[in-house]
Amino acid sequence: MIDFKDLHTIENPYPALKELRAFGKPVWHEELQLFLAAKHSDANDVLRNKSLGRIFLPKTPENEWFEFNYLHADSILDSEPPKHTRLRSLVAKAFNRQRIEALRPDIERLTHQLLDDIEAKGGEFDVIADYAEPLPVKVIAALLGFPDSDEHLLRPWSQAIVKMYEVNPSEAHKAEAKKAAKEFADYVHGLMLERLEKPGDDLISELARVTEAGEKLSTHELIATCVLLLNAGHEASVNGFGNGIVAAFQHLDQWKLLQSQPDAIAETAVEEFLRFDAPLHFFDRTATSDTEIGGVAIKEGQKIVSLLGSANRDEDVFVNSDQMDLTRNPNPHIGFGAGIHFCLGGPLARLEMSISLPELFNRFPNLELVGTPVRRPTFSLRGYESVMARTN
């Protein structure tokens, strides 16, 4: 049975995921004590089934991850209706298509600035640290209303927090993650109090107003939601971009396509990046009543995981599913999830990537990757720590 901690599996999980799909139905993972839904139809059903919910446990201080869990347990992602419906409707307004489309000029300006800096530096640069990461961080920070002068704090906090997803995190990394979660929460709380005094045209001000006005949003929910938005708002985008770039470089015909017509294929390329090597692989749900997925009974209290990266390689849904095809269309991948927790930031992530991807190749048509990209040692959050490239 697949071992999610095995470093070879983390390096290339796709053969093991293919074996799981070959069972044709969800399978029981004895060690983890949960079902794995690897086929597209099953993984999709897990996310849409109303008897399967996100149950976030435990919230008690005795738990080692108390500060961390406590922070997450009140966010949109880890809530279920009716709380989820209330939180989602408050935040969704900020992420509607019109508001996101209005960010286009800002995203283009930021992209050009980053490319100018890379060009000025000349020679080699890190696709992750110098390009893929700063853009979504700057965009989400501006949307939330974090002051520019504090931007340097955000990435380190977020990076420290995601260390909890490592395979066997060290004591030092655990301590870093917890410290960052606490500092980040205190920081957002401080900003919220400031914005109540002096509101601005940003999401924290808007949510702080709702918090003060009534019962709709508690202070803790606001903090948890802002922290989630900052993390979700860039970790997956960065990883999706990095995974896609490396995969395209490993498929030279696709790399040449990107070099020769970056603007023409930008939109389909972004979708294929997210399908071919998904940045998020593992989302579990718990049965709140007896139910069934793919003909397998899931009893109340049992867990089942939606394996998004496996679903996206399902040979029953995608022709030549193990081949990267940047012009693939239609592309019904479930990289952004499905059902009530479907990614709220999908339109923003798509807009950012569909601008930054072609602009990278327009500016550096002879771009080349150098050395071996460094993978993060996590299965669930799949990405690279560093991807070095040469502008030539």
Question: Which of the residues are catalytic?
Answer: 232, 235, 237, 343, 352
Stretch that binds ligand HEM, among 62-70, 126-134, 214-222, 232-240 (CB under 6 A): 232-240
> Distance between CA atoms of 282 and 308, rounded to whole angstroms?
6
Nearer to ligand HEM, 17 or 228 (CB): 228
Q: Binding residue for ligand HEM (CB under 6 A) from 38, 207, 265, 348?
A: 348
Of 343, 319, 334, 381, which Cα lies nearest the Cα of 45? 334
Q: Which stretch binds ligand HEM (CB under 6 A): 101-109, 184-192, 231-239, 324-332?
A: 231-239
Is there binding between residue 279 and ligand HEM (CB under 6 A)? yes
Nearest Cα neighbor of 289 from 298, 278, 300, 279 is: 300
Write out the binding residues for ligand HEM, residues 253-272 only, by CB under 6 A: none
CA 326 remoteness from chain centre: 20
Please say which residue, 244 or 294, places its beta carbon nearer to ligand HEM. 244
Burial category of 4 from C-beta neighbours within 10 Å (exposed 0-12, middle 13-18, buried 19 and up)? buried
Least Cα distance to 36 among 57, 56, 13 occurs for: 13
Q: Which residue in the set 145, 244, 262, 345 belongs to the binding site for ligand HEM (CB under 6 A)?
A: 345
Q: Which amino acid is at 345?
A: G
Both ends of the chain: CA-CA distance in Å? 45
- The reply to whether 311 sits near ligand HEM by the rule CB under 6 A is no
Could you tell me which stretch among 65-73, 210-218, 226-234, 373-381 binds ligand HEM (CB under 6 A)?
226-234
Residue 181 · residue 68 · CB < 8 Å:
yes
Return the bridge partners of 184, or none: none
For residues 221 and 226, what is the distance between their CA atoms, to the nearest angstrom?
9
Binding string, residues 43-62; x marks residues near ligand HEM by CB under 6 A: ----x---------------
Closer Cβ to ligand HEM, 139 or 257, answer by number: 139
Tell me the sheet residues that pair with 384. Answer: 375
Does position 203 interact with ligand HEM (CB under 6 A)? The reply is no
Nearer to ligand HEM, 87 or 391 (CB): 87
Q: Are 178 and 67 in contact (CB under 8 A)?
A: yes
Residue closest to ligand HEM, measured at CB: 345
- Of the candidate spans 148-156, 260-268, 330-338, 372-380, the one that interacts with ligand HEM by CB under 6 A turns out to be 330-338
283 binds ligand HEM (CB under 6 A): yes
Neighbours of 98 (CB within 10 A): 7
Which DSSP category does 202 fall into?
S
Among 265, 269, 289, smallest CA distance to 277 is for 269
Interaction with ligand HEM in 76-135: which residues (CB under 6 A)?
76-77, 88
Q: Which is nearer to ligand HEM, 143 or 367 (CB)?
A: 143
Residue numbers at the binding site for ligand HEM (CB under 6 A) = 47, 76-77, 88, 140, 228-229, 232-233, 236-237, 240, 274, 279-280, 283, 308, 335-337, 341, 343-345, 348-349
